[in-house]
Structure 1
Amino acid sequence: MMRAYWMIACSAIAMAAASPGTAQTADATAQETASAAGHGVGASDIVVTARRREERLNDVPVAVTALGNDTLKAAQVATPKELSQFVPSLNVNTGNVREGNRYTLRGQGATLAAGEAVVTYLAEAPVPYLSAGAAGMIFDLENVQVLNGPQGTLFGRNTTGGAVLFTPRAPNDVNGGYIEGGYGNYNNREFSGAFNVAIVPDKVMLRVAGTWRQRDGFTHNVLAGARQDRLDDLNYYGLRATLLVKPADWLENSTIVQRSQSNPNGTAFFIEQVNPTPPAFKAALDAAFARQQQLGRREVENNPTFYLQRTTAAINTTTLSLSDDMRLKNIFSYFVSRSKNGFDIDGSAITGLFDEIDWPAAANTSANGLSNEKYLTEELQFSGEFFDRMLTVQAGGFYLDYKPNGYSARQYVLFGGRRIQGQGEAGTSKALYAQSTLNLGAFTPALDGLRLTAGYRYTWDRKQAFIDTYNTATNACISRPTGVNPNCRVDYADSWSKGTYTLGIDYKVTPDIMVYATTRHGYKSGGFNTNADPEGPFAAFIAFNPETITDYEVGLKAAYRAGNVRLNTTLAAYTANYSDIQRTQTIAVPGTPPSVTNLVTNAAAGKISGVELQQVVSIGGFTLDGNVSYMDAHYKKFILPGNIDISGQELPYSPKWKWGLNASYQMDTGAGDLTVRAGYSWSGTVRFNDPAQPGNFFGGYGLMNASATLTRVAGSPLDIDLYMTNVLNKTYVQQRTPYYYAFGFVSAFYTEPRMYGFRLRYNFD
C-alpha cells in the first residue's frame, strides 16, 4: 500500500516539474467574505478554501458553511458556541466549563481523554484541542468555514467528523483600519481595533489587530466568604500581528504572531437532583438541593471556581509560485497552550465531596493531560493545474510534534481524600497525502463539467502518556496498586497507522448548479485510559483502539433567480458507518471511600444518517437565510463495562432536529446605510453520555438574537451597532452533568440571560 502511495505522490510531482509556465503570485482571498446568506455578496461568489485551494462555494462538492466577519459580528459570535445557529448538524458543547469548546459534527465530536473528531485551524495550522476557538481568538477574521464529514485526505490532522477553519484578515495595500468600543448590561466593556500599513506598497504590509472584553458575572455566588461573588463573567483579550512580504512576483511570505487569554471567575453550577441513596454525603446533598430550590436560577452557593486558557501562536506560510499553474506552500506553526479550570460540580457549599483546588504553579490536567503543551507542525504542499485547468493535483506531507511545556498537575478532593494527580501526554503524527480532480471534458466536450476526484492519505501516529497520582495525607499511590510517592508514576506508549481516502464525482449542470456524490474514509488514533489502575478492575480498558468511519454523501448546490428574487440552495444527504467509536464513561469504583474514574471504551459499530438543507432567499435589500438538519445517530452494537448492552441507543450530542432562521434588511436612510438583523435558532434534545440515568438529557430550546447597524453615519467614518442576544430572556440548561450514580447528584449550568448593548466604530480610510 505504501509503495502505491509513493507512486501517486511522485507521479504528481513529476507532472508538475514537466509542466511549462511563467511565475506569478498566487492570489490571496482579499474580499470581505459574506456568509451563506449572501450579505452583500451572492452566495455563488463566496470564496472558500475547503479543498486547500480557493474556489467558489458553489464549486466545492462537499457540505460547507462560510460565515464572513460582518455576519460573525452581527450574530455576537465570540466563541464557537454561537456558530451552531448557522451550521446544520453542528453542536458545540462546553464540558464542565462555560468557556469550553467541544465540537460535534454529524454525531462525531470530542471525547474526554481521546482526540478530536473535529479539528480547528487558524490560517491553515491546526489549533491545540483545548485552545480551539477559545474566547479571545475570534476577532478580525476574514471568515469562518465549517466543513462537514471526514477531512482526513487534504487537511493536516486526520479527522472523522469535520474541520473548522478560522481565516484571519490579511494585510493589504490600503493604509487604514478601525477602532471600536462598546458598552452593555452587566457592565459589559469591550474594545477592539486593527490598523493596516503598507510599509512598502505591494511588497511589505503589516496588519495589527486586537480585542479586549470584560463583563460582570450574571450569577451571584452567595456563599459566605466566597472568593468570587459573581460567576459566569467574561474577561479575555486577543492580539494578532501579521506581516506579509512579497520580495518578488513568485514569492510570498506571511508571518502571524498571536496571543490570547481568557481568565474569568468560573462557571456557576446548580444542583438539580439527588439520588436517594448516594455513595456518600446524603444529608449534605439533601440540604444543598433544598437550599438551591430557595435560591433559584441566578444565585448559587459554590466553592472556589477558576478558569484560565492562554495560547501563544506563531504561524509562518511561504508560497513559491513555480509557474502560472503550480505552486509550493510551506506552513509552519508553533503553539504554546496552557489551561486550567476548577468547578464546583456539585453546585453546593459541600466540601469534601469533589473540590478542585487552584494551584497557581501548575496547569490543570482534568482535560486529557494536555493542559500545558507546546505544539509544532510542519506541512509542505504542492498544488498544480494542468491541461488547461482540466486536471488539478495536490500532494504533500504533514508533521506534528507535541509535548509538555512544564509541570501539569491537578490537586483535588474526592470523597474526603485529597489527591495530587500529575499527568502528561506527548506524541507525533506524520502523514503523506495526494488528491487529484479531473474534468472529463479533457477527453470530449460532451463530458465537460463532469469531474472525478480521488485522494489518498497515510498517517502514522505515536503517543506517550503518564500519570502520577497519590494521596497527600498518606502518600499512598493511587495511579498504581502498590507503593508510595514518589514511586507512583505509570507510563504508556503505543503507535497506530492507517490509510484514508476520498472518492467523488460531481457535475456542473450549469455554471451555478452542481450535483455531487462522494465517499470518504476517516480515522482517529487510539490512546490510553491513564486514570485506570493497570492492575485494578478495569485493567482490560487501559488502551483503547482507533476509530474509523466511512461516509457516503450526495448533494446539490444551486444559485438561481426567479424574477427579482435571488436564491441559493445547498442540500446534502449522507449516511456513515462508524466503527470502534471512542466514548467516555464515568464509572463508580467501589471501595472505602468510594471513587470514580473516566474510561474511554470502543463501541463496536454505529450508524449516522441525515439530511441538511441551507436555503437563502434575497430580494432587494432583504435576505432570508434558513438551515435545517435531521440526523439519526445510533449505536449498532455497544456493550458497556459491566455487560450493559446499549445497542440501538442514540449517540451523545446528536439532536435529531436542528434549525435556524436569520433575516436581514439593508436600506439607505440618508443618514447612513442601515442593516437590521434578527435570528432564531432551535436545537432538539441531546443525550449527555451513554449510561442511562436521571438528568442524562438536555436541550430542546430556541434562542433569538437581534441587531441593527448604521454605517457611515451622515457621511462620517462612524458606525453605530446595537445588539441584543436571547431577546426573549429564556433560561435553559446549557450543559448538564448527570453523576446520579457516581456521585449521587445531577447538576447543570444555564444559558446567558438577555444581553444588550452598543458599539461605536471609527474607520480610518
Structure 2
Amino acid sequence: MFKFHGINQTASCRARMRKRVLICTAAVVGIASTSARAQEDPAKAAPVRDTGEIVVTARRVSESLSKVPVAVSALSSEQLAARVVLSDSDLQKNFSGLIVRTAQTNNAVNFAIRGQSIDIYTGSQPGVLPYFNDVQISSFNSSGYYDLGNIQVLKGPQGTLFGRNATGGAVLFNSAKPTDKFEGFLTGRLGNYSRRQIQGAINVPIVDDKVLLRVAGDLERRDGYQYNVYKHVNEGAVDRESGRVSLTLRPTERLTNETVFQYSRARGTNVQIEAFSAYACGTPGVSSTVACLYSPSFLNQFPGGYAAYQALHPGSEAMPNGYIDQIAFQKVLGPWKVNTYAPSVHRGKDIVLTNSTAFELTDDVTIKNIFGFARTKTFDLYDGVNGGPFTLQSLDSSMASTAQPAYTGEYKGLSTKVRSISEELQVIGSIGSLSYIVGGYYSKERKSSSSPIAYLEIAPFGQYLGYPAGYQQSVQMNDFGTADISKALYGQLTQDFSSIGLEGLKLTGGFRYTWEKFSLTQGELATSRLYTNAAVNPSVIFETTSFSKPSWNVTVDYQVTHSLLVYFAQRGSWRAGGVNGQGPARYFYASEGGNRFKPETTYDFELGMKFKGDVGMIPVRANLALYNQIVKDVQRVIYATAPAAFAVGGVSSLLALTVNIPKARVRGFEFDLALNPTNWLEIGGTLVHTDAEFLNGKTTLFGQEAIYGTYADTPRWSGSVYGAVTVGLPNDLGALSLRGDLYAQTGQWFSSQGTTVAPDTYLPSYKLVNARLEWKDIVGSPMSWALFVKNLTNQGYYTGGNALVPFGTNGAVPGEPRMYGFEATVRF
C-alpha cells in the first residue's frame, strides 16, 4: 500500500495527496454533520458510549484530549499495556507522526516529528524534546517504560509554554501518581531471546489523602538479536533495572507537593551498525576513499601488497576485491547478522528528580513551581562505520598500533556525562472568561564527551600514509564539555467569547522570550585544537556565544457542536545556535572553517478538527491536522577533512561540522480514526503524510559549495490499522481480548545529501504486524495472562543510519526481529 516512487512529487502524486486530504476532511465533516443533526433533536440522539477519552496537559493544564486545540496523540496506562509499549522502538508504531530514529546503535535514539530531529555530532538541541513529569530531560532511558500514567506526543513548534524551545514537538512521559488506596500490581514476562522481565508497583496511603506513597520498579534481561559472524556472539543484549519512588503531600486542601525520584542502570551490548552501501573506487562525484584504500590495486603498490594486509586481518582473505566485498557480504547476511571484530559495550546510569508544588492562592489563582534535576552517564563501544575485517574506525585508541587486539578490559570508548537542573514558576488563573498562565523558566545543562577515535588502519603500511611512528592508523581525541544556560519569561491568555453570545469561540495568544548562553571547553587532549585561530595553542580552549529570540502562538478554536471542535493555529519557535565540539577550534561559522552555528528558526500554520461523539449508533473519535511549516537556517551535520590550509603542522583530522541550510518547508496532514461498532469491537487507524523539502539547500564549507537535497528521517507516508475484540466468558471465567495492528511506512533517507555526495542512503519501506491475546480476571481472580508478538512476519527493516561522506561508505541500524512472549499480571 505504501510505495515510494522517487524523490520529487509528481503531478499524479500531488493529485493523490489532495484526494486523501479531501477524503479525510470529508470524513470529519460528514461525522460532524451527522452528529449535529442528531443533536437537533435530543430525543432522537443515541446515547454516547465511552470511547476511551484521557486527560492531557498539552497546554500545561489538564484538558480533555478531544477538546484541546493542539495536535496531540496520547495513550493512557491501560492503552500502553494493551499495545505492549516497553521501549523507545514501540512508540513509533503507536503514535502517529512520531519517528524513532537511530544513527549508529540502538542505544542512541532520537525522536523526529514533522521532519524535525537532530543530526548526530551537530551539538544542536533536539528538534523534539522529551519531558518527564513536566521536566525537560536529555534522554528517557528505556528502563523508564513502566508504571506510567500516560505518554503524550505534541506535534509542531513548541516553546510558548514548555521548558525549552523546540522546532518539531515534545514527548511527555508522566509517571503514575500515588492514589488514596492501598493497591499495586506485579507483572512478569518471558519471551524469546531469553527475555525475563519483572515490573511492579505498590501504592500506600500513609495518611489518608495527606501523605501518599508509590514505589515502582522494572528489571529486564534479554539476549541480543544480532548475530556477529566474526566473533560468534549475539550483539544487543539488554541488562537493565530501574526503580522509582513517588511521594505526594497534601498538608492543606490548597497545597499539593509531588516528588518523584527515579534511578536507572543499563548494561549489556550495542546493536552494531551494518555496512549498507559504499562507492566503488573512482565513482564520479563522490568520495570513494575506503573502496580505493582497501583494495588490491592500491595495497599491491607496497611490499607484500594485499597479501601482507590480509595476513594481519583475519576474515579479509574471503574478500579478494577488498572492502567493496564487505558490502556484498552484509547483503547476504541480512539485517540481523553482522560482520565486525569491534567490541560492543553499553553502560548507563540515570538519575531523575522532579518536584511539583501547587498552591491554590484563591479559587481562581494557582501558583505552581516545577523543579527538576537529572544526571546521565554512559559508556559505549561499537563499530561506528562497520568495516568488517577492515578497521575503518575504532572508539579505542589502544587499537591504533596493533590490528584487532584481544579485549583486556581497558578499552577507552565513548564516555558522556550530562547534568541538568531546572526551575520553573507559574501562575495559573482566570478572570471571568479570561484564563491565563504566566511564568519564568531557568535551566542549566552541562555535558562532557570524551572519545578516542582511530580510523583508516592500514597495517603494515601505516608509514606510507604518513602516520606517526609506531602507529598504523590516524588517531584523534575528542575531549570537550559544554554548558547551556536557558532563561525565559512567558505568558499565554485564552479569551472565551461565550459571555458575549459567541458560544464555543475562544482566542488564545501566547508569547515567550528566551535567552540562551552556550559555552564550550575543549580539553588538552583534543586534536581538534590543531585548528585554532590562536597564535599559540593553549592546553584548554574556551568559547562562548549567546542568542535571544521570541516564540509565539495564536490559536482560534470553535466548538461547533458538543462533539466537533475546529481550530486554526499559527506558531513560531527556534532552537539555539552554538559551538560544535566535534569541529575545529576556530571561532567562525562552518562556512569559514569554524565550529560555530546559527540558531534555527521556524513558523507554521495549522488547521485542525477533532470529533468525539456518535454517528448513528456508533461512537466515533476522529482527528485531522493539516499544516505548513517553514524552517530557516536548518542545523545539519557535514563530515569533511579539512584542506591543508586549515591544518597545523601538516595534521588533518576528520571533522564533523554544523552548517545552517538556508530554508526548508515541511507540509502534510495527520489523520486518526477510532470507532466502536459494538460494545465488544473497536477498530481504527491512522494516516500521516509528510512532504519535506529544502527550498534552498545550498551552503558553503571551506569555500566550497555543498548541496542538501534530501530530507532525512522523514518517510513520506506512514500509517496503521488495528482491531480489538473483547468478549466476556460465561460463569465468571473472566474476559478475553484480542488486539491486532499493522504499521507501515514508506522508505526514508538517512542522509540529507542523498542527491549529491551521499547516494544509496535510502532505507526501504516496511510493514510490522503486532498482536496480543489477553485473558483478564481469570475465574474471578485479580490475575491476567497474555500472549504477545511484535513483528509477527519477521520483517527485516532499518531504523536509521549514518553516511560517512569523506570515507564513501554508509551504515544502517536494523530494527527488532520477531519478539514474542508470555505475560502474567496480578493486581491487588
Q: TM-score, normalised by structure 1?
A: 0.87
Task: String of CA shifts for 1:694-728, please: whole Å, max 9, x gaps.
Answer: 33111411111100111110011211011000001
In the other structure, the counterpart of 1:243 is: 247
Question: 5+ unaligned residues in a row in structure 1: which ranges?
Answer: 1-39
1:410 alignment partner AA: S
In the other structure, the counterpart of 2:671 is: 613
In the other structure, the counterpart of 1:732 is: 797
Pick from 385, 409, 412: which aligns with 2:453?
A: 412
In the other structure, the counterpart of 1:72 is: 80
Q: CA deviation at 1:451?
A: 0.4
In the other structure, the counterpart of 1:59 is: 67
Q: CA deviation at 1:617?
A: 1.1
Q: Distance in 2 between matches of 1:361 and 1:48?
A: 48
Question: Aligned runs of 1:397-546 on 2, under 5 Å?
Answer: 397-404=440-447, 408-415=449-456, 416-442=473-499, 444-445=500-501, 447-468=502-523, 470=525, 478=530, 480=532, 487-534=538-585, 539-546=592-599
Q: CA deviation at 1:41?
A: 4.7
Task: String of CA shifts for 1:575-625, please: whole Å, max 9, x gaps.
Answer: 112111111122244578874321111111111111111111112121112
Contact 1:734–1:749, Cα closer than 8 Å, also in 2: yes
Q: Distance in 1 between matches of 2:335 and 2:132?
A: 37
2:294 alignment partner AA: K
Q: CA deviation at 1:423?
A: 1.2
Q: Distance in 1 between matches of 2:716 and 2:521?
A: 39
Q: Distance in 1 between matches of 2:344 and 2:700?
A: 32
Task: String of CA shifts for 1:715-742, please: whole Å, max 9, x gaps.
Answer: 1121101100000111122223233x42
In the other structure, the counterpart of 1:758 is: 822
Q: Distance in 1 between matches of 2:412 and 2:635?
A: 26
Q: CA deviation at 1:413?
A: 0.8
Question: Aligned runs of 1:552-591 on 2, under 5 Å?
Answer: 552-589=605-642
Task: String of CA shifts for 1:135-166, please: whole Å, max 9, x gaps.
Answer: 10121101001111112101111111111111
Task: String of CA shifts for 1:336-384, please: whole Å, max 9, x gaps.
Answer: 1112322213324436420112999999668xxxx31210000011101
Between the aligned residues of both structures, percent identity stands at 29
Give the match's secondary structure for 2:669. Answer: strand
2:266 alignment partner AA: S
2:484 alignment partner AA: G
Contact 2:85–2:91, Cα closer than 8 Å, also in 1: yes
Larger Rg: 1 or 2?
Answer: 2
Q: Distance in 2 between matches of 1:464 and 1:152?
A: 22
Task: String of CA shifts for 1:214-243, please: whole Å, max 9, x gaps.
Answer: 11111222325x7xx210222222211000
Pick from 144, 161, 184: which aligns with 1:154?
A: 161
Give the match's secondary structure for 1:288. Answer: helix
| Greater mean alpha carbon deviation, residues 599-608 or residues 719-728 | 599-608
1:104 alignment partner AA: A
Q: Distance in 1 between matches of 2:410 and 2:146?
A: 30
1:255 alignment partner AA: T
Q: Distance in 2 between matches of 1:342 and 1:364?
A: 5
Q: CA deviation at 1:645?
A: 6.0
Contact 1:362–1:408, Cα closer than 8 Å, also in 2: no
2:243 alignment partner AA: L
Matched, 1:116 2:116: no
In the other structure, the counterpart of 1:35 is: none
2:495 alignment partner AA: L
Pick from 251, 254, 259: which aligns with 2:258?
A: 254
Q: CA deviation at 1:287?
A: 4.9
Q: Distance in 2 between matches of 1:477 and 1:65?
A: 46
Pick from 422, 431, 435: which aligns with 1:392?
A: 435
Give the match's secondary structure for 1:81. Answer: helix
1:318 alignment partner AA: T
Give the match's secondary structure for 2:174. Answer: strand
Give the match's secondary structure for 2:104. Answer: coil
In the other structure, the counterpart of 2:11 is: none
2:383 alignment partner AA: D
Q: Distance in 2 between matches of 1:661 and 1:593?
A: 56
Are residues 646 and 479 of structure 1, via their aligned partners in 2, closer, same or farther at CA, if it must alter by over 3 Å? closer
Q: Distance in 1 between matches of 2:113 and 2:449?
A: 30
Give the match's secondary structure for 1:70. Answer: helix
In the other structure, the counterpart of 1:184 is: 191
In the other structure, the counterpart of 2:179 is: 172
Contact 1:513–1:558, Cα closer than 8 Å, also in 2: yes
Q: CA deviation at 1:523?
A: 1.1
Q: Distance in 1 between matches of 2:556 and 2:258?
A: 34
Contact 2:584–2:655, Cα closer than 8 Å, also in 1: no
Contact 1:541–1:601, Cα closer than 8 Å, also in 2: no
1:598 alignment partner AA: A
Give the match's secondary structure for 2:272. Answer: coil
2:690 alignment partner AA: M
Are residues 355 and 489 of structure 1, via their aligned partners in 2, closer, same or farther at CA, if it must alter by over 3 Å? same
Q: Distance in 2 between matches of 1:262 and 1:71?
A: 26
In the other structure, the counterpart of 1:372 is: 417
1:68 alignment partner AA: S
Q: Distance in 2 between matches of 1:50 and 1:363?
A: 42
Q: CA deviation at 1:683?
A: 1.5
Matched, 1:91 2:99: yes
Q: CA deviation at 1:479?
A: 5.4
Q: Distance in 2 between matches of 1:605 and 1:424?
A: 30
Q: CA deviation at 1:401?
A: 1.0
Q: Distance in 1 between matches of 2:328 and 2:128?
A: 40
Q: TM-score, normalised by structure 2?
A: 0.81
Are residues 440 and 476 of structure 1, via their aligned partners in 2, closer, same or farther at CA, if it must alter by over 3 Å? closer
Give the match's secondary structure for 1:494. Answer: strand
Q: CA deviation at 1:533?
A: 2.4
Are residues 322 and 756 of structure 1, via their aligned partners in 2, closer, same or farther at CA, if it must alter by over 3 Å? same
Give the match's secondary structure for 1:136. Answer: helix
Q: Distance in 2 between matches of 1:662 and 1:590?
A: 54
Question: 5+ unaligned residues in a row in structure 2: which ranges?
Answer: 1-48, 282-287, 296-321, 399-408, 457-472, 645-649
Contact 2:437–2:492, Cα closer than 8 Å, also in 1: yes
In the other structure, the counterpart of 1:662 is: 722
1:123 alignment partner AA: N
Q: Distance in 1 between matches of 2:642 and 2:765?
A: 33
Contact 2:135–2:371, Cα closer than 8 Å, also in 1: yes
Q: Distance in 2 between matches of 1:351 and 1:71?
A: 47
Contact 1:363–1:409, Cα closer than 8 Å, also in 2: no
Task: String of CA shifts for 1:521-576, please: whole Å, max 9, x gaps.
Answer: 11111011333324599644421111111111111111121233111111111111
2:217 alignment partner AA: G
Contact 2:528–2:585, Cα closer than 8 Å, also in 1: no
Contact 1:305–1:356, Cα closer than 8 Å, also in 2: no
Q: CA deviation at 1:408?
A: 3.9
In the other structure, the counterpart of 1:208 is: 215
Contact 1:232–1:264, Cα closer than 8 Å, also in 2: yes
1:746 alignment partner AA: N
Q: CA deviation at 1:180?
A: 1.2
1:433 alignment partner AA: Y
Q: Distance in 1 between matches of 2:397 and 2:271?
A: 14
Are residues 104 and 291 of structure 1, via their aligned partners in 2, closer, same or farther at CA, if it must alter by over 3 Å? closer
Q: Distance in 2 between matches of 1:397 and 1:182?
A: 44
What is the number of equivalent residue pairs in this alignment? Answer: 702
1:610 alignment partner AA: G
In the other structure, the counterpart of 1:688 is: 750
Matched, 1:332 2:371: yes
Are residues 481 and 397 of structure 1, via their aligned partners in 2, closer, same or farther at CA, if it must alter by over 3 Å? closer
